[in-house]
Amino acid sequence: MSENKIISITRARTNSTPVAKKIVHSKKVDLKNSALIVENLTFSYGQKKALDNVNFQISAGECTLLLGENGAGKSTLFSLITRLYDAHAGRIELCGFDIQKQSRQALARLGVVFQQTTLDMDLTVVQNLRYHTALHGMSGKLANKRIQEELERLQMYERRGEKIRQLNGGHRRRVEIARALLHKPALLLLDEPTVGLDIPSRQAIVDYVHQLVIDENIAVLWASHLMDEVYPDDHLIVLHRGQIKATGSVNDVLEITQTQNIANAFAQLTN
């Protein structure tokens, strides 16, 4: 067990109105159960600081919602975790592996669904997935088994022979989630995966991912600006202008902000 500094908030009162103020407190971190540890992470685009001393930890079996408005730094954080960018300061550890010093071992345990689709529109569902399994060095037999398992769980196996461009947005997202899970990652990153989807499609994906956490004991980091995607048992990270304003359980954040719902808590923290 070790100590990890986590940003939280406390309240100062001016004319009886709560005002968010940052403090630091300690949280016990179970290193053996950690899927992701981010320490003192800072990144800038030229003179503009996108992330400022970001610290948090995610354990196996946790669904963590990264809440932030556009421009908060969510996509930058994901780019650093996936090593599209290299951090200017701080460190990222994935399942015990330093992402800069042990990239291959770290990234092998990561599954990603980006905000913009990365599927080949002119290939079928199964062709897209087989390409991914080949990149991970899976045998044909194992690849077919894993593809069938994931597509069946997402109710997409009957559509495996259809080209991606024939699918609607919700079904394309299901294929991307299936692809991200083929190699059984320990950590799944989802960068606003429900943007542009209709309400039933959104809800189906939200429900599926939360059930996946329970069934597979996987860790999930889900970037979103939609408060209705938060479940009562989720962990929250509120990111605003590159800084963490609060982190903890839903109840922790509601208690600290003295609000009745996440939307009001988020508004107070980012005001």
Q: 115-127, pLDDT tens digit by residue?
A: 888 999 999 999 9
- The whole-angstrom separation of Cα 230 and Cα 210 is 10
Residue 171: what residue type?
A: H
Q: Give the pLDDT confidence score for residue 26 in this predicted structure.
A: 33
- The whole-angstrom separation of Cα 128 and Cα 90 is 35
pTM of this prediction? 0.85
Domain 2-109+218-269 sits in CATH 3.90.550.10: no
The mean predicted confidence, pLDDT, of the chain is 88
Q: What separation, in Å, do the N-terminal and C-terminal C-alpha atoms of the chain show? A: 35
Q: Which helix (H) or strand (E) holds 67?
A: strand 63-67
Q: Tell me: the pLDDT tens digits for 26-60?
A: 344 455 689 999 999 999 999 999 999 999 999 99
Output the DSSP codes for 131-187.
HHHHHTT--HHHHHHHHHHHHHHTT-GGGTTSBGGGS-HHHHHHHHHHHHHTT--SE
Q: Which helix (H) or strand (E) holds 1?
A: none
Q: Look up residue 178 and give its two tokens.
A: 């299936």
- The whole-angstrom separation of Cα 263 and Cα 176 is 29
- The whole-angstrom separation of Cα 27 and Cα 13 is 26
Q: Does 10 score more than 50 pLDDT?
A: no
Q: Look up residue 232 and give its two tokens.
A: 């009562």
Average the pLDDT over each of 224-228, 235-239, 248-252 and give the range with the smallest value. 224-228
Q: What angle do CA 169, 116, 202 make, to 5 degrees?
A: 40
For residues 147 and 3, which has the higher predicted lDDT (pLDDT)? 147
Kindly report the length of the chain. 271
**Quick one: 227 exposed, middle or buried, by C-beta within 10 A (0-12, 13-18, 19+)?**
middle
Long-range contacts, stretch 123-126, CB < 8 angstroms, 24+ apart: 123/163, 123/164, 124/160, 124/161, 124/162, 124/163, 124/164, 125/151, 125/156, 125/159, 125/160, 125/161, 125/162, 125/164, 125/167, 125/175, 126/151, 126/160, 126/161
Q: Where are the domains of the chain?
A: 2-109+218-269
How much is the average pLDDT of 19-31? 40
What contacts 153, CB < 8 A, 6 or more positions away?
178, 208
CA 125 from chain center: how many Å? 24
